[in-house]
Structure 1
Amino acid sequence: MTDPLMLKEAREAPRVVRRQLAENAEVTRRLADALRGRRPPYAVTVARGSSDHACTVLKYGLETRLSLPVASLGPSVHTLYGARLDLRGALVIAVSQSGASPDVVENVRMAREGGATTVALVNVEDSDLAREAEFVLPLRCGEERAVAATKSYLASLTALLPVVAALNGDAALTRGLEALPEALERTLEVEAQARDLAERYRFADNLLVLARGLHFGVAQEAALKLKETCGIHAEAYSAAEFSHGPKRLLAEGVPLLGFAPADAAGEATRRAYADLLASGADLRTLGPAAGSTLATPETGQDLTDPVPSALAFYLFAAHLALHRGLDPDAPPLLSKVTRTR
């Protein structure tokens, strides 16, 4: 059987990140120089779907490394309700594979006209979104044909990181980025383990995905992909918030998949998972933390660790769809580009 596009494109991740780092060097320098001069007091993100989940990861990165508060902008505030937000001086980051969603494009136009610094992380470089933004950080994925985004999501996690490294003079992050393609190549070596782990969920109807900190946006993405490619009702929760009510679902036998970080959130996450296991939870883990059910390579940098975790999950999700007799490239009712207004 021929492998689905979802798997083939996910396996391109090492090449995509390597190319992105090499070819975005000049725009990275220009954007970092501009932000040093303008010193935005806060940032907002504009995105939908997988791109919005990438923005959750970027939020943690910008807040923890640059102390820059980040909020998610609801596109309909402008496009449906007609409000023109005061974004003077703000850094506005739009993320989109296609750059074609009218509501994202319109919000970037509004923000730029209102005096914001606008940045587009986009794969299609001649798209409407790329034309509207002041700065464009290309994702460098090449064509992504699978309905389920994989390599474009991973590239969205990394495109802004060289700018972060330049702004705070973080040589360690730069080295971590340079080593990331090799870490992603090592992640591809766990595909057989991902396939085996997926087998145990082949008959699942529901699955809860837990994470904290930088991995939370990966958990959001995982829940979306489980719905999209596997027909499983999945939801993402903060491991810190899960005990505030959702834990009740354990009594119904709902299984858990937890992302296990090795960064500052690692110990708190480990304790939360230990408590859940003591309560009888059906919990398996994925990530760079020691003892993970599906262990991913540590990259040596908290901002880059989520990338191998996300890649390993994509391998898991694609094989889970195949175990369930589904084609992850042809999810019912969905198409590659969704144009919201």
Structure 2
Amino acid sequence: MNPAPSAANPLMLREAREAPEVITRQLAHNAGAAQELAHTLRERRPPYAVTLARGSSDHACTVLKYALETQLSLPVASLGPSVHTLYGTRLDLSGALVIAVSQSGASPDVVENVHMAREAGALTVALVNVEDSDLAQTAEFVLPLRCGEERAVAATKSYLASLTALLPVIAHLNPHGGLMDALHGLPEALRRTLELEDAARALAGRYAFAQNLLVLARGLHYGVAQEAALKLKETCGIHAEAYSAAEFSHGPKRLLAEGLPLLGFAPADAAEAATQAAYADLRAAGADLRTLGPAAGSTLTTPPTGHALTDPVPSALAFYLFAGHLALGRGLDPDAPPLLSKVTRTR
């Protein structure tokens, strides 16, 4: 990869390139906290889990939902923060596992819901980057993201760290699945992903004039597709929406008649065959579809990581490289999206 001039080297890309070091640091420094939380979960055995988050953090929770359900058979639902903060309802969360994810830990609605859940007898866990934040002080357990300061408005390294922070806990609870080995090999897979930046830039060139884009995925990659659609709005000014590849044929497929381009995430896990079949049907219907992910034959093929739960991380990193260069190719500064700021405080 040739070094880019500083004018074409925005914070978004620079921070995304920190991913291998962030994950290495997180694994090393969170080892004790992950073991302690795993021990507590064995002792308290929650019947279900709920997640609390907004924006990119909520998209990370979609990936965590699939992770917890597929590896631990633990049902997971997304909690609407406004049920408590606006409608005044105190939910019965006794015994539940409540996972709050936030880069800043400063959003009042997330903090208030964690406080409510802990008072109700839930086991509360915060995945947060700012370790002295209100959220970190409110939750019973904290798994720091270990990103260091993230200055770009568009979150990159904090999203990637949110995907991985809970995985060592899952690995301790399901020790024979090979996840811990995959986690230790993940930083190297991310370094290899960074070598794809020129290819990501080339793929971005094909979408330079797109005004609308549909992003497809299934399973563990679906939360990455949600994040991709958000980033395309934030950094590129493209109206993008994420769909399950399974659900796209139930009505939204009609949009193909309008010529809308598609970007599909291509997994190499249990969802691979079904996803590839859906993509083949779309191409047969004339879809303009290119793919990104660990599945062989993808337009942009990301390095395998050895486990379904870690595969989405290089996919997300490769997409960030794509999105950063797409914004630059459209003459936009991905670090200065109109009307947005780094921290949004929602009630």
* Same-fold call, TM cutoff 0.5: yes
Query: Which of the numbers 22, 26, 30 marks the counterpart of 1:20?
Result: 26
- Which residue is 1:54 aligned to? 60
Distance apart, 1:168 and its partner CA: 1.6
* Number of equivalenced pairs: 341
Distance apart, 1:155 and its partner CA: 0.2
Distance apart, 1:17 and its partner CA: 0.2
**Using the alignment, how far apart are the partners of 2:221 and 2:72 within structure 1?**
18
- Which residue is 2:233 aligned to? 227
Once the two structures are superposed, residues 222-272 of structure 1 have per-residue CA deviations (whole angstroms, 9 ceiling, x without a partner) of 000000000000000000000000000000000000000000000000000
Q: 1:41 and 2:29 equivalent?
A: no
**Using the alignment, how far apart are the partners of 1:79 and 1:130 within structure 2?**
19
Distance apart, 1:72 and its partner CA: 0.1
Flag structure 1 segments of 5+ consecutive residues without an equivalent: none
TM-score normalized by the length of structure 2: 0.98
3-state DSSP of counterpart to 2:297: coil
TM-score normalized by the length of structure 1: 1.00
For 1:62, the aligned partner's letter is L
- Which residue is 1:292 aligned to? 298
Once the two structures are superposed, residues 8-54 of structure 1 have per-residue CA deviations (whole angstroms, 9 ceiling, x without a partner) of 00000000000000000111111011100000000000000000000
Flag structure 2 segments of 5+ consecutive residues without an equivalent: none
For 2:267, the aligned partner's letter is P
Q: 1:102 and 2:108 equivalent?
A: yes
Query: Which of the numbers 145, 155, 167 marks the counterpart of 2:161?
Result: 155
**Using the alignment, how far apart are the partners of 2:215 and 2:15 within structure 1?**
23
Distance apart, 1:170 and its partner CA: 3.2
- Which residue is 1:326 aligned to? 332
**Using the alignment, how far apart are the partners of 2:13 and 2:321 within structure 1?**
6
3-state DSSP of counterpart to 2:191: helix
Worse-matched range after superposition: 41-50 or 1-10: 1-10
Q: 1:81 and 2:59 equivalent?
A: no
**Using the alignment, how far apart are the partners of 1:171 and 1:203 within structure 2?**
44
**Using the alignment, how far apart are the partners of 1:145 and 1:170 within structure 2?**
38
- Which residue is 2:207 aligned to? 201
**Using the alignment, how far apart are the partners of 1:107 and 1:94 within structure 2?**
9
- Which residue is 2:317 aligned to? 311
- Which residue is 2:121 aligned to? 115
Q: 1:143 and 2:144 equivalent?
A: no
Distance apart, 1:171 and its partner CA: 5.5
- Which residue is 2:133 aligned to? 127
Distance apart, 1:169 and its partner CA: 1.7
Moved over 6 A (4+): none
**Using the alignment, how far apart are the partners of 1:127 and 1:338 within structure 2?**
14
Q: 1:178 and 2:184 equivalent?
A: yes
